[in-house]
């Protein structure tokens, strides 16, 4: 967010339109900051200072000349009982881009500053209303494209990920405190846990963090959906299959090989997930410039896709070109689709990945294809409703680094490494975990030390 690099002024009064642009029944202008109540009073038809918090008030928004801009409902919310933790006022005016902008302009002229992107949530984070993971979940919630993504974002907003990370921090803080004590008081012979007990605790923490990191595969699917690429040699029925999956005539179907020259893209929802469906040019050797470019793009799409449907013509069996193409695709993310099963067909060759038989033309076998897609996507099973999953690459990177540093500490204990070096890695481990939820790791370690040991003794 751009505003993070600006000096943060606590209580700075900001304003913005909080509803999407366009026409609608209601638009909301949000004001937040120390002077939010005063700013609202300058443009509302009566004083806002004395109005009870969290009540709805009817009145008019007036500009500097005293002209009525709009009839509105006004909601004052006194600190700290607001989303940002600061005084907040919401103005509900008539929907429509023009009227909403006029009301916002009146508020800005009354003394507020235009908010930067995400600044209300940033205020909530800075004022302790949300931790960093929860603040990120707000955007995930807004951008959720399906029910599963909505549930995952809601769970993170309610603190499920924070509690998980805090559990890791708590156990590792105890180990860090012991290591720090060994460094600060080596002559005391302090021993609050055996070496074996510390290593067992570390192994359990590492395994738990690895288990959480492994949920990113599912989390990314929930958040971003799946890129599904149809590939195959010319005239095997890729475009017919695309049309069958979409339930509409999206791609031109022709008996002429090489009809599809470029990548066709569309979107569909399948089994509760969002799919970006790509129909590619048939892959073969070609000297024709346009077709060759389409084939190059097809190969690029293969590498970038989350899932591949390798379409084959069951009426002619596995040909040499099919076999050559099969050797070039990643099998772990491929489903073989024997198409045209409504035509008299030879015996179909077994394939080294999940395989489905369909007739795109007659809409046969599509339910089985849907089920197979679901099975391949959820490699380790669909996540449980109660399971905490990470959906952010930032979280995965921080967690991966934390695991690496924790493993260094575990290995260092095994190799009898000096506690000074172990402390460095442990601090780094906790710092990486702190990045996820925005905590000050160093203060957490110090607090743990002071609560566990009598330093003054």
Q: Return binding residues for Mg(2+).
A: 239, 260
Residues in Cβ contact with 292 at an 8 Å cutoff, skipping those fewer than 6 apart: 286
Three-state DSSP state, 325: helix
Contact 281, 291 (CB under 8 A): yes
Cα 30 from Cα 39, distance rounded (Å): 11
Bond preceding residue 80 cis, omega within 30 of 0: yes
Residues 6 or more apart whose Cβ sits within 8 Å of residue 377? 221, 226, 273, 306, 307
Cα gap 26→292, rounded to integer Å: 52
Binding residue ranges for (6S)-5-formyl-5,6,7,8-tetrahydrofolate: 30, 90, 129, 457
Q: Going by C-beta distance under 8 Å and a sequence separation of 6 or more, which residues neighbour residue 366?
A: 244, 245, 358
Radius of gyration of the chain (CA): 30
Rounded to an integer, what distance in angstroms lies between the CA atom of residue 236 and that of residue 404?
47
User: 163 burial class (0-12, 13-18, 19+ CB within 10 angstroms)?
Assistant: exposed
Q: Annotated binding residues for GTP, as ranges? A: 235-240, 254-260, 279-282
Query: Can you say which residues are annotated as belonging to the binding site?
Result: 30, 90, 129, 235-240, 254-260, 279-282, 457
If one counts every other C-beta atom within 10 angstroms of the C-beta of residue 26, the result is 13
Nearest to 177, CA basis, from 419, 440, 434, 436: 419
- For residue 187, count other CB atoms closer than 10 A to its CB: 5
For the chain, how many residues are written?
A: 457
Per-residue exposure over 315-328, b if at least 16 CB sit within 10 Å of its own CB, e if not: beebeebbeebbee
Check if the beta carbon of residue 15 is closer than 8 Å to that of residue 43. Answer: no
Binding residue numbers for K(+): 235, 254, 256, 259
């Amino acid at each position: 967010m751009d505003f993070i690099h600006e000096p943060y002024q606590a209580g700075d009064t900001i304003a913005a339109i909080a509803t999407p642009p366009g026409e609608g029944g209601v638009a909301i202008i949000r004001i937040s900051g120390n002077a939010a109540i005063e700013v609202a009073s300058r443009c509302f038809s009566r004083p806002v200072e004395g109005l009870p918090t969290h009540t709805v008030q009817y009145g008019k928004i007036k500009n500097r000349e005293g002209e009525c801009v709009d009839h509105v409902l006004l909601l004052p919310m006194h600190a700290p009982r607001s989303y940002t933790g600061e005084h907040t006022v919401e103005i509900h005016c008539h929907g429509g881009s023009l009227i909403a902008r006029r009301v916002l302009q009146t508020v800005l002229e009354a003394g507020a500053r235009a908010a930067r992107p995400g600044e209300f949530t940033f205020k909530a984070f800075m004022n302790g209303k949300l931790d960093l993971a929860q603040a990120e979940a707000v955007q995930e919630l807004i951008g959720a494209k399906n029910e599963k993504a909505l549930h995952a974002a809601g769970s993170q907003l309610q603190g499920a990920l924070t509690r998980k990370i805090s559990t890791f921090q708590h156990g590792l803080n105890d180990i860090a405190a012991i290591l720090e004590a060994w460094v600060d008081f080596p002559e005391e012979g302090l021993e609050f846990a055996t070496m074996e007990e510390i290593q067992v605790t570390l192994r359990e923490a590492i395994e738990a963090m690895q288990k959480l990191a492994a949920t990113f595969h599912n989390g990314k699917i929930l958040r971003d959906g799946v890129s599904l690429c149809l590939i195959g040699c010319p005239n095997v029925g890729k475009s017919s299959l695309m049309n069958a999956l979409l339930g509409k005539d999206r791609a031109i179907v022709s008996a002429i090989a090489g009809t599809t020259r470029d990548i066709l893209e569309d979107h569909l929802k399948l089994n509760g997930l969002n799919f970006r469906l790509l129909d590619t040019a048939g892959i073969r050797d070609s000297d024709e410039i346009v077709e060759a470019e389409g084939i190059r793009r097809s190969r690029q799409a293969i590498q970038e896709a989350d899932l591949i449907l390798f379409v084959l013509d069951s009426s002619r069996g596995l040909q040499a070109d099919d076999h050559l193409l099969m050797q070039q695709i990643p099998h772990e993310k491929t489903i073989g689709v024997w198409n045209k099963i409504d035509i008299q067909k030879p015996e179909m060759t077994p394939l080294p990945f999940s395989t489905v038989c369909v007739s795109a033309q007659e809409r046969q076998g599509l339910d089985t294809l849907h089920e197979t897609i679901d099975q391949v996507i959820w490699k380790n099973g669909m996540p449980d409703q109660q399971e905490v999953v990470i959906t952010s690459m930032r979280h995965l990177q921080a967690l991966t680094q934390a695991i690496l540093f924790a493993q260094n500490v575990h290995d260092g204990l095994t190799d009898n490494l000096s506690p000074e070096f172990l402390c460095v890695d442990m601090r780094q481990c906790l710092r990486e975990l702190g990045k996820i939820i925005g905590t000050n790791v160093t203060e957490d370690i110090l607090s743990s030390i002071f609560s566990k040991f009598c330093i003054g003794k």
